[in-house]
Structure 1
Amino acid sequence: MTLDTMMPEIVHSAVPGRLRLKVPRILNRPERVRNLVTHVRGLSGIRSVNARSMTGSLIVTHDPKIDAEDIRKQISGLLSLIDDPAQHAAASPPRERKEAGKRPARRRVRTAARDVPAWHCRPAGEVIGTFGSDETRGLDSREASARLKRFGPNVLPHEAGPSNLALFAKQFEGLPVMMLVGSAAVSFATGGVADAVATLSVVALNGVLGYVTEGQAERRIHALTGQSEHPVRVLRDGAVLNLPSSRLVSGDVVLVSAGSLVPADARLVSVDGLMVDESALTGESMPVAKSDTDRLLRDTPIGDRSTMLYAGTIVAEGRGRAVVVATAGDTEAARLQRLSSTATRPQAPVEAELDRLGSKLAIASLAACGVFAGIGILRGYSASMILKDALALAVAAVPEGLPMVATTTLSLGLGRMQRRGILIRQLSAVESMGALQVLCLDKTGTLTQNRMEVVTAVAGGEEVPLDRKADLDVLAALAVLNNDASVEDGAANGSSQTEHAILGFALSQGLDAGQLRQHYPRKATIERKPGRPWMATLHEEPGDDRLLLTLKGSPEDVLNRCNRLVTVEGSVPLEASDRKRIIELNERLAARPARVLAFARGHTDNPDADPQGLEFVGMLAMVDPVRPGAKALIRKIRRAGIRPVLITGDQAATAAAVADEVELSGGGALRVIDSTSIADLSPDLLAGLAQDTHVFARVASHQKLAIVKALQASGRIVAMTGDGVNDAPALAAANIGIAMGESGTELARDVANVVIRDDNLETLVEAIAQGRAIYRNIRRSLEYLVTTNMSEIAVSILEALHGPGELETPMELLWINLVTDVFPGLGLALADPDPDVMDRPPRMAGEHIVPERDFARMAQDSGVIAVSALLSHLVGLARYGPGPETRGMTFLTLSQAQLLYTLVCQRTDPKKLHPEKLLENRTLDLALLGSSALGALPFFVPFLRRLLGIAPLRASDMALSLGAAAIPLATVLARRSIQLHLDPEDPPNA
């Protein structure tokens, strides 16, 4: 059967608005039937479609005004697509998209990743016909309204943030909190209502604090990510309209020009010197040329699809006309957003460590309760007494202040970061900044400013400093006349970044652009286009009947049209030596790398004649400048032991030049790898390669994601900075995703957990230092909390072994934990960063927040605290026997001993534990004074005495208890003094 015999045939069309066709290609092919029905439904004027694979028939109801033969021809054009599931996805009708939106997100992501439209490799006319549009008239306005109603507005869907309920529930995750809840439940079951209420109050306070802090961060970040409308020139009913971008639909014909923000994905149908800045999508900083006739392969990378425009990119030069093929959630930007949603951010180190520590404490608590139960059974205690004692021990084992200290410390750190211009979405990200080991940097918009700037001028065939204005006046005048950018408030506005840079150079030379343009009014423009790498403008010149012609473009092409050279002495013949010198200058500037444009002038009587015989005026070299502070940032993070890695969509030469400028390799050999070298590597090989590479160039968004995961595979804590849509997947997967607040795209800010509000990278160093300080301080707080709780467990077990009725009450232990844990723990956690915090390497991967080696020291310290409390306990037994007086003495010694022990927890390094500096932390000093007062308060308030089960103490009892409380402090200071004498080396990460 030939192709012609497989074309659709009209079987019946007598009834207006109803058409039956025979389609041989769908006979007994159900999958083709589904695809064809999907495409036909998307045609203009189609009301319903039904098909049967068993008979190969297609029944279409349509607008009676549409000729049946026209519909047959359109359906014939769709037959090439029905074997292509990707095209099927691209043309799916609105109702199917709505249904797809109801499916689970994971399924949607897989479909979107597989079903990528191939409009770029299809002829423009075929694409227009597929969407029932017209190149010169656009869509019918009624059809456009119908599609808008069916498809919805052209707005990129945002990832919904956590609901208030989910954010609140998140605060109660983790074993320490669960242990507290369990303890409260046991208290309720045994009649200890006051104990249970006090414990749950701690849990609730911790949850509210975390919820409020993280909620504020979410609101601040969402305030930055609001989408804004922008007008788009659209053809409707043959007229050009300015419509909001949200009202675009597939099939619309849009008109773009220099400075336009591309509103949707579109297939070009005509171009006139069109250049597009696709850095937000591909990371490539230089504008790329576009064409409506290039023949491309289906697997052509996005950055090389010269026939396409993509949403979120910016037209740099020229003009174009394109038919919209995808809007809203079907665009490439949305596909990258869905790819971002599949990336899972690893658990923050502090979260993992708190979970691990909580598990250990839970096991210790259960073991201690088991010991208790065994003792009680052997001694013949009643079940109620055993349960009550086990509850007291459980309260002793659980550090009630642990979640509150960690949450409060992180939230206060988050607040400090926000005041410095860094918005942090999750509390844990504050600490993750301090654990950072590898910092992956995007080039365009992160290390560089994502704008063009003139850095070098060439006039008279020589390089001229930019401040020598007298030698650059002719070049500056041409930069004004041959330029599409306008001037507003003394600055360049509109058009492309290149035009901005050129006009900005002219303005910096002191020219009045408006006056100059009035003096030489433009009469015509010859646009740049493929095969014509230059732009010419024609101007009236007072006193001359001829037109002034200015030329701007590729240095080689401009030079070939010149036979004279403008110098400070005037116009002179252009010699061969001059040409050679100018070409060498161009090659040197281009190798920087920089974008170089040449300028020439002449006069003509014939505007249509090919420009020749011109005067060569000079050249301007432009670069995307490195951000202020970028070099200092790299130097500081390298000193801090953090490895910087540059990941960019730019060419290797451009990336290497920026890396050299910021000294990315620290003076060593720079290793640059092009994405083509890693395209087919396995994850294991890529992980090995990533450990020694400084720069990854020409990297697509999915490769950025793979590189981040490869670095994480070695156990590293990885941060990724970026501002573009193409950075979003990697930002979502990194331990820390850092987006730019001012220049960043909405999607980048949406998926990042850290946003730099003013794009100032120097604040990153502050954030890293603060994160390290927070981690080190939380570590000291945890060591303090665990040590003091271990002392309470020891005291409780020894009291239980000694005799019935001697054990501290659960409310006593809860009061001690809240009074002597929370405020002193916060005092330790809020200490200022150590002066050398950024001069030490980050902690080793996998290192526990409380190292195993420290548990022996902590056990010794807890033992000394327990012994001092038991000393008071035994004296109280001798004087009063078991009862409130003895419990009061034990309570006072235990609480005050723990408070005094806080002073030596400020430093784990013996070299830095100087007795005269024990009171240098004013926050901790105030916390200890307040906690000491709260520890003594129950002795003076009858209600609290009854609640805790203690009695007032005589002066001698109080003096003995306080004396015993000083024993742990003196013992630890003596031991550390001996340790320093025996081992004077400075231990790391102390």
Structure 2
Amino acid sequence: MTAPLDLPEIRHANVPGRLRLSVPEIRNWPNRAAALAAALSGQPGIRHAEARSVTGSVILKTDPFLSGRDARLLVARALAGKLRPATVGAANRATPKRRPGRTKSKAGTIHWHALSPDDILKTVDVSPDQGLSPNEATRRLRAHGPNLMPHEAGPSQVQMLAKQFEGLPVMMLVGSAAVSLLTGGIADAIATLTVVGVNGVLGFVTEGQAERTIHTLTDQTDHPVPVLRGGQDISVPASRLVPGDVIRLRAGLRVPADARLLSAEELFADESALTGESMPVAKSPAGTLPANTPIGSRTTMLHGGTIVAEGKGLAAIVATGARTEAAALQYLSDTASRPKAPVEAELDRLGSQLALASLAACGVFAGIGWLRGYPLAMILKDALALAVAAVPEGLPMVATSTLSMGLRKMERRGILIRQLSAVESMGALQVLCLDKTGTLTQNRMEVVEAVAGLTPVAPGDRASLSKLAEVAALNNDAGLEDGAPSGSSQTEQAVLHFAITQGIDVETLRRDRARVKTLERKPAQPWMGTCHEGAFGLELTVKGSPEAVLARCGHVLENGDVRPLSEEDKAGLLELNGRLASRPARVLAFASRPVATADTPPEDMTFLGFLAMVDPVRPGAKHLISRIRRAGIQPVLITGDQAVTAAAVAREVDLTGGGPVRVIDSTEFADMPPELLAALAGEIQVFARVASHQKLAIVKALQASGRIVAMTGDGVNDAPALAAADLGIAMGDSGTELARDVANVVIRDDNLATLVEAIAEGRGIYRNIRRSLEYLVTTNMSEIAVSILEALHGPGELETPMELLWINLVTDVLPGLGLALADPDPDIMDRPPRDAGENIVPSHDFRRMATDSSIIAAAAFFSHMAGLARYGPGPETRGMTFLTLSQAQLLYTLVCQRTDPRKLRYDRLLENRTLDLTLLASSALGALPFFSPLLRRLLGIAPLARTDLAIALGAAAVPVASVLARRSVEFEPFPGAIVKEAGAKEPENA
């Protein structure tokens, strides 16, 4: 007997025709979610199905007749493997018959490249001459949904806000507010929760603004596509295409979905966004391919997101939206999780240590009070005061504010940061993985060398290049838009741009020399011929591979004269072609001759010259790599291009600083165990012919070696690695939508020079946070020490919770921000990154911090004892202790501007104007309660006499004087130069 199916729970059904179901079985299982969505799509009554692995939910768009129970039953049957997948043919509800040659994977996915054109047409049930009927296209659109890439819903506004209140320091403050309410301290609770709220809102606003800015770059353009429907050629928005649609291919068309070629004439596709291969790939509908053929070698297929570079043809769409290869890469990106940023992990660890220390101190405190027989209310009040003293209220505020202000600086420089923590990760990274195409290079073709006749010619020699430039403009399918080349392939645009730079008026030339015939390029004919009218009759031009063109030439144009082309000349030209191709460059040869008729075959042509083209390196890339290396960051090139191309680019940008370039082809590490790849990754500078999953493996291997890794990229094939890297950096201008979606950093204008500035800013932010953190921990330790000394001395002497909270607000937030907003050190990019395992506060610094906090506590306790001697326990004594403790901490800020004492200059203690202003403001806030009766009552203090004021301020000056005197004894006095040994490295925390 069959067990009953467990039906999923309906979460939302308020919108007619839309259901959201809870499916825990797919949570954190992206592949399972994709399979479920595929199984549900096209089922009776379901117009569109989307399964989200992050939330464990399924969203269904249904026909009106489908009940909620039926929808739940379909999902349950799909989960149990009892639902037959729908087909794309006319018999959409029936099980398709298996046909010869039809191959599927174990998961049921059809390997379209392994089918012949006839099998494809039968499978998708379409006529290549008629296309789909309008009614059938509409039905399939309902069954399969729009042709759009799936998107995981980002966090809601509520989730983003809730995220800002995570973390132990925040929880401790909330806990202290709760205790305040239990003991009647309503004002204390309100003040504490205000601090928590301001910090949370600040983080929420800054991250939300960054997310909205990036989303403006990630809209999906719904471009028109030429389609054959009902025997008519029409234009259909890409989102309305369905499996079975027959599309007409032309140069410049962005392929809207995965399609199988039916016919092609000299068709080349730019697949750089999907595979990383910069050169166009030849496509042909003939034959079938093995099922395991990789994406980059599927010559019978066109995949969504690629571009038709040259030629024309017909193709049948076989997969749309979530079923395309680009979507499969997106699912792979969903499975890659980015590790927590270093500063986040370290602040969490430090927060845990502070929490444990605070709880232990409160336990000791309560034990002492219980042994002495203090009332429970007094014990809770004293423990609360100690808890408030132990938590640095400024820590979350300073860290968040510093990171958010760094984010603003980055945005002004053209870098958009999705998470605040990514700013710090920039400064901590140790390995920068660079994609070649579109990142180091410009992802376009450019003529870099010209040969007129037999001799290389400088670009400025227009006289020698005039005939070559004229033929380059005539034998060309690219058009002009606002005076710039457009349409056709990047190669054609580059050739036309060369002609323009040589002074050719392309529009006038083409009008006067109209084309009368075109000989298209073919697999067996690697050249293109055009015949043009002219003042002296017809002229035939040829452009193509140097070997093929030279074979049809009997003369050469040299220095303005035509002479016979000898075999020795041809050998020399072929040798020159080999040198140009080894750059590597794409080389085209050009020839022409006058003819009597347009049907004259291209023989006995006059050779005009070569044009060599490359995907040019971005301006400033070499300087960028130099600065990256000088900063101690290892640059690694990961590309889908051939090894010779990758090595040439690596040498051009001086990736290794003059050293040998170690290149490894993907075939050499395809089956390598992860631990071996991790060991190898640190020794290789260039990884060539790398697929998407291999890029991901390389990034993970580098991370497994304990290093912090960044990945740059712009293509769909880069997305999984971008998602997994500690820092994923996408191109905002030329990059693909998926790359921007998964990255946590977007370079708006693709200017890599700003990346170095961002790294410097990240390092500066980390150092400033570190200085602020050391200051906050030191001063809060002094408050704990004062509280314990007061409590041990006698009952009723302890500072009130509100008094300690006011001290923390005065001495934590503004001074901490003043330290955190200092400009980066001038030599910040001349030092290596910090060790990945180094604590944000090294253990040896804790000894110095403990000493400094003890001196501050001793000064405050001295003032406390003086007050007891004059007044006994009460508001006056608490006022003296309050003033000494707050002002001593503020003065101590001046000596925290350099964590390395050797960098401390007496004559520069007041050079940080931001810090100076924050100290003045904090000092005023520290003195404000003495002038406000309301604040005096809230804090439990009294006005001070002149003698009390002198004692308190004198004691407050002792700690900073002691620190300066101690550092003068321990280190060489300043101002004075420190002479370093040759090759010695200063501590990174300077």
With normalisation by structure 2, the TM-score equals: 0.90
Q: Residue 616 in 1 paired to residue 607 in 2?
A: yes
Q: Is the 8 A contact 2:778 2:850 kept in 1?
A: yes
Alignment of 1:560-959 (within 5 A): 560-605=551-596, 607=598, 610-959=601-950
Q: Give how far 1:581 is off.
A: 1.1
| CA offsets 1:178-210 (integer angstroms, 9 cap, x no match) | 111111111111111111111111010000000
With normalisation by structure 1, the TM-score equals: 0.90
Alignment of 1:475-490 (within 5 A): 475-490=468-483
Q: Is the 8 A contact 1:77 1:126 kept in 2?
A: no
Segments of structure 2 that go 5 or more residues without pairing to the other structure are 1-76, 981-985
Partner of 1:38: 85
Match of 1:352 among 322, 336, 345: 345
- Quote the sequence identity (%): 69
Q: Residue 404 in 1 paired to residue 397 in 2?
A: yes
Q: Is the 8 A contact 2:892 2:959 kept in 1?
A: yes
Aligned residues: 904
1:48 and 1:740 mapped to 2: Cα distance?
44
2:421 and 2:970 mapped to 1: Cα distance?
35
1:287 and 1:484 mapped to 2: Cα distance?
16
2:696 and 2:116 mapped to 1: Cα distance?
33
Partner of 2:283: 290
Q: Give how far 1:605 is off.
A: 4.9
2:358 and 2:216 mapped to 1: Cα distance?
45
Q: Give how far 1:140 is off.
A: 1.5
Q: Is the 8 A contact 2:428 2:763 kept in 1?
A: yes
Q: Is the 8 A contact 1:294 1:306 kept in 2?
A: no
Q: Residue 245 in 1 paired to residue 291 in 2?
A: no
| CA offsets 1:674-725 (integer angstroms, 9 cap, x no match) | 1111100111000000011100000001000000011111111111000001
Partner of 1:987: 987
| CA offsets 1:66-115 (integer angstroms, 9 cap, x no match) | xxxxxxxxx555476587544x34xxxxxxxxxxxxxxxxxxxxxxxxxx
Match of 2:379 among 363, 378, 386: 386
Partner of 1:100: none
The amino acid across from 2:246 in the alignment is: V
Q: Residue 454 in 1 paired to residue 500 in 2?
A: no
2:630 and 2:935 mapped to 1: Cα distance?
54
User: Using a 3 Å threshold, how does the CA distance of structure 1 residues 520 and 312 change in structure 2: closer, same or farther?
Assistant: same
Partner of 1:222: 215
Match of 1:429 among 416, 422, 426: 422
Q: Is the 8 A contact 2:902 2:972 kept in 1?
A: no
Match of 1:137 among 112, 119, 130: 130
User: Using a 3 Å threshold, how does the CA distance of structure 1 residues 594 and 83 change in structure 2: closer, same or farther?
Assistant: closer
1:34 and 1:351 mapped to 2: Cα distance?
42
Partner of 2:301: 308
2:932 and 2:93 mapped to 1: Cα distance?
83
User: Using a 3 Å threshold, how does the CA distance of structure 1 residues 653 and 151 change in structure 2: closer, same or farther?
Assistant: same
Q: Is the 8 A contact 2:102 2:114 kept in 1?
A: no
The amino acid across from 2:705 in the alignment is: S
Partner of 1:550: 541
The amino acid across from 1:989 in the alignment is: N
2:338 and 2:84 mapped to 1: Cα distance?
40
Alignment of 1:148-159 (within 5 A): 148-159=141-152
Q: Say which SS state the counterpart of residue 894 (structure 1) adopts.
A: helix
Q: Give how far 1:258 is off.
A: 1.0
Q: Give how far 1:124 is off.
A: 0.9
Q: Give how far 1:295 is off.
A: 3.1
Q: Give how far 1:429 is off.
A: 0.4
2:643 and 2:884 mapped to 1: Cα distance?
68
The amino acid across from 1:628 in the alignment is: P
Partner of 1:121: 114
User: Using a 3 Å threshold, how does the CA distance of structure 1 residues 320 and 972 change in structure 2: closer, same or farther?
Assistant: same
| CA offsets 1:426-458 (integer angstroms, 9 cap, x no match) | 000011101011100000000000000001001
Q: Say which SS state the counterpart of residue 621 (structure 1) adopts.
A: strand
Partner of 1:510: 503
Partner of 1:179: 172
Q: Is the 8 A contact 1:596 1:622 kept in 2?
A: yes
2:112 and 2:938 mapped to 1: Cα distance?
77
Q: Give how far 1:525 is off.
A: 1.5
Q: Say which SS state the counterpart of residue 830 (structure 2) adopts.
A: coil
1:194 and 1:855 mapped to 2: Cα distance?
34
Q: Residue 960 in 1 paired to residue 951 in 2?
A: yes
User: Using a 3 Å threshold, how does the CA distance of structure 1 residues 409 and 336 change in structure 2: closer, same or farther?
Assistant: same
The answer to which of 145-154 and 358-367 deviates more is 145-154
Partner of 2:969: 978
User: Using a 3 Å threshold, how does the CA distance of structure 1 residues 907 and 325 change in structure 2: closer, same or farther?
Assistant: same
The answer to which of 287-296 and 823-832 deviates more is 287-296
1:79 and 1:592 mapped to 2: Cα distance?
46
The amino acid across from 1:174 in the alignment is: G
1:127 and 1:328 mapped to 2: Cα distance?
19
1:76 and 1:399 mapped to 2: Cα distance?
70
Segments of structure 1 that go 5 or more residues without pairing to the other structure are 1-29, 52-74, 90-116
| CA offsets 1:23-80 (integer angstroms, 9 cap, x no match) | xxxxxxx99x9999536x4322x3643x7xxxxxxxxxxxxxxxxxxxxxxx555476
Match of 1:164 among 154, 157, 166: 157
Q: Say which SS state the counterpart of residue 988 (structure 1) adopts.
A: coil
Q: Give how far 1:567 is off.
A: 1.5
| CA offsets 1:456-484 (integer angstroms, 9 cap, x no match) | 00111111111100001111011111100
2:766 and 2:917 mapped to 1: Cα distance?
22
Match of 1:264 among 257, 263, 271: 257
1:569 and 1:791 mapped to 2: Cα distance?
89
Q: Say which SS state the counterpart of residue 668 (structure 1) adopts.
A: coil
Partner of 1:367: 360
The amino acid across from 2:666 in the alignment is: S
2:622 and 2:886 mapped to 1: Cα distance?
51
2:202 and 2:658 mapped to 1: Cα distance?
46
| CA offsets 1:404-430 (integer angstroms, 9 cap, x no match) | 010011101101110111000000001
Q: Give how far 1:496 is off.
A: 0.7
Q: Is the 8 A contact 1:393 1:793 kept in 2?
A: yes
| CA offsets 1:870-893 (integer angstroms, 9 cap, x no match) | 000000000000111000000000
Q: Say which SS state the counterpart of residue 530 (structure 1) adopts.
A: coil
1:538 and 1:161 mapped to 2: Cα distance?
57
2:979 and 2:593 mapped to 1: Cα distance?
80
User: Using a 3 Å threshold, how does the CA distance of structure 1 residues 750 and 76 change in structure 2: closer, same or farther?
Assistant: closer
Kindly report the root-mean-square deviation, in angstroms, between the aligned alpha carbons of the 2 structures: 1.7
Q: Is the 8 A contact 1:254 1:321 kept in 2?
A: yes
User: Using a 3 Å threshold, how does the CA distance of structure 1 residues 687 and 84 change in structure 2: closer, same or farther?
Assistant: closer
Alignment of 1:72-111 (within 5 A): 76=97, 78=99, 81=102, 84-86=105-107, 88-89=108-109
Q: Is the 8 A contact 2:104 2:111 kept in 1?
A: no
Q: Give how far 1:535 is off.
A: 1.0
